[in-house]
Amino acid sequence: MPPRVLVVGVSGPSSSGKSTLTRLMRDVLPRATTTPPRRALILYEDDFYKPEVDIPVVDGVQDWDCPEAIDYAGLRAAVAHVRACGTVSAAVEEQSKEDRNELGKPPLETAAARALATRILGDGAGAVLEETLVCLVDGFLLFNDPELVKLLDVKLLLRAPYAKLKQRREARNGYATIEGFWVDPPGYFDDIVWPGYVRAHRDLFVGGDMDGPLAPAAVDAGIQVPPELDMTMAGLLEWALAAVIAALA
């Protein structure tokens, strides 16, 4: 019988630290009672892009950063499978390529992350988590599909200053895709990535201010943002683990 499953959505703009945070959480959460034992597992939204021929084109350039590029039905089915079975389906695990994308030197070493997690979780929460499989869903457009939002027990939205996001994205060599490898053309962040993220998320913030407070409807939907705009990875991990503990209470 599968363990209790807690589905945690970790969203935010490109290069905001989502994948680093989810991988750290996967490494530090207590083991769940599955066979074989797993602390937590990750579903990557980027494993659910539509085929390259179906990616929208803007001014002659593919737009990988819009909701229309994502196979939400496939992602919803993957989340439902984890919730029902306590495992990632064989088909999804076989096609996943996101762990092949290097994130560079982590801003928080695993040993330090585990020490922080031990302090934050404590004996009580740790015991509950040992009987809970945490399914981390990592994606920059998680909150643009209402049916997917309903499947998320915890909804975290990372943020970072525009200049830092741009610098991080433009420092990347490229991305492994299911069908090949993608390298951003010049100006891609300013022309495609950031404008698309704003269009898809402006309704979540008061006055469309991406650095401002969440709109009441977003708060009512359970979306949470970090208490500060530019937090360290240690701060983000502490905040995210506290949200997991609150969801288990």
CA atoms within 13 A on the CB side of 140: 25
Structure token pair of residue 236:
């983000």
Identify whether the C-beta of residue 13 lies closer than 8 Å to the C-beta of residue 197: yes
CA distance 82 to 181: 28
Identify whether the C-beta of residue 100 lies closer than 8 Å to the C-beta of residue 176: yes
pLDDT score recorded for residue 248: 85
pLDDT score recorded for residue 102: 59
CA 37 to chain centre: 22
pLDDT score recorded for residue 119: 82
Return the DSSP state at 32. B
Tokens 């737009």 identify what position? 63
* pTM exceeds cut of 0.85: yes
Torsion region of 132: left, alpha or beta (phi above 0 gives left; psi -120 to 50 gives alpha): beta
pLDDT score recorded for residue 31: 61
> Which of the residues are catalytic?
46
Q: What does the domain layout of the chain look like in residue ranges?
A: 4-248
Vertex 184 angle, CA 181 and 185, to 5°: 120
pLDDT score recorded for residue 181: 74
The one-letter amino acid at 59: D
Structure token pair of residue 70:
């994502």
Name, in order, each residue with C-beta under 8 angstroms of 30's C-beta and a sequence gap of 6 or more: 39, 121, 126, 129, 130
Vertex 31 angle, CA 30 and 34, to 5°: 155
pLDDT score recorded for residue 126: 60
pLDDT score recorded for residue 66: 94
Radius of gyration of the chain (CA): 17
Sign of CA dihedral 57, 71, 134, 202: positive
Q: What is the pLDDT along the chain (249 residues), one digit of tens a residue?
A: 567 899 999 999 999 999 999 988 988 886 655 555 567 899 999 999 999 899 999 889 999 999 999 999 999 999 999 999 888 888 888 877 666 555 556 677 777 888 888 887 775 556 667 778 899 999 999 999 999 999 999 999 999 999 999 999 998 877 766 667 778 889 999 999 999 999 999 999 999 999 999 999 999 999 999 999 989 999 999 999 999 989 987
pLDDT score recorded for residue 148: 97
Q: Helices (H) and strands (E) in the chain — how many of each? A: 10, 9
H-run or E-run covering 179: none
Vertex 98 angle, CA 199 and 189, to 5°: 35
Options 3.10.450.50, 3.50.50.60, 3.40.50.280, 3.40.50.300; which CATH number does 4-248 get?
A: 3.40.50.300
